[in-house]
Amino acid sequence: MGALSWKGLHHVAIFTRDMEESLRFYGEVLGFKVTERFYDEGEKADIAFLDLGNTLLEIIAPSDDEWSHSSSFHIALQVEDASKTFAALQAKGIPVVLPLTETHGFRYAYFAGPMQETLEIVEPPKKP
């Protein structure tokens, strides 16, 4: 298996119990622009992405109080090929939190770090 190939930080995510209040704070108060908002059936959550200039902030509002992720935020690392990276991380024995999934053209998966922090690999949609 070849070396892992990272393209950089894609986004940082936080969880909220009140999406509208979070959007008011990050959008109206701090001035970050909402670039995308949707309901993700796979994660069962209302999701918004805000542009911070050099990266994105993802705000996640789970519809289920029994959210299965071990931490209240995650770091998303952009990759060229999510399938290859997923296989390489599995081969290294890194615990899978969420298997490889596709939503809105994004291919992603969650893994657990050594302190149970959540790491995401994400392959954005290819630009035409």
Which pLDDT tens digit goes with each residue over 58-94?
999 988 765 555 456 788 889 999 999 999 999 999 9
From the options 3.10.180.10, 3.40.640.10, 3.40.605.10, 3.40.50.1440, give the CATH code of 6-123. 3.10.180.10
Q: Are strands 118-123 and 73-79 parallel, antiparallel or unpaired?
A: parallel
Q: What token pair was written down for 22?
A: 């979070």
4-55 pLDDT, tens per residue? 888 888 999 888 888 999 999 889 888 889 999 999 888 889 999 999 888 9
**CA atoms of 92 and 108, how far apart (whole Å):** 18
Put simply, whether the predicted model's pTM sits higher than 0.85 gets the answer: no
> E strands, 1-128, where?
6-15, 33-40, 45-51, 56-62, 73-79, 96-103, 106-112, 118-123
**CA atoms of 81 and 100, how far apart (whole Å):** 11
Residue 20 neighbours by CB under 8 Å, 6+ apart: none
String of b and e for 28-51 (b: at least 16 CB within 10 Å)?
eeeebeeeeeeebeebebbbbbbe
Q: Which amino acid is at 3?
A: A
